[in-house]
Amino acid sequence: MLKWILTSVVVVVGCGVIIAGCVPPTKWEYKKVSMPYTDHDAALNKLGEEGWELVGYSFKPAAGVGTDYSYYVFKRVKRNRIEFKFWK
């Protein structure tokens, strides 16, 4: 019985290692956006609907007279053909 359990564990772990080697690493694409500092919820919501996730933010006050700016960095999974590598 113990021999059967150990054999099953080895098979399951071995299959997991093989399958993990077939999945390519996640590739990301990034987007930088700068906007005047106003109410721009609609623009940010649109980017979210397109799959962009906010990963960075910066604010730059205007020097003297002018408009303050917000700077955003977004990322999402790169959209291209899925490639599987069965053997490295």
| Domains detected in the chain | 2-77 (3.30.70)
pLDDT confidence band for 59 (50 / 70 / 90): confident
What is the predicted pLDDT for the residue at 54?
93
pTM of the model: 0.58
CA distance 55 to 33: 12
Average confidence (pLDDT) over 19-46: 80
pLDDT higher at 61 or 66: 61
Name the E strands within the chain: 28-36, 53-60, 69-77
- Is residue 36 predicted with pLDDT exceeding 90? no
The phi, psi pair for 6, rounded to 5°, reads -65, -40
Q: Which residues contact 52 (CB under 8 A, 6 or more apart)?
A: 31, 74, 75, 76
Q: Which residues contact 14 (CB under 8 A, 6 or more apart)?
A: none
- Is residue 81 predicted with pLDDT exceeding 60? no
Average confidence (pLDDT) over 49-77: 85
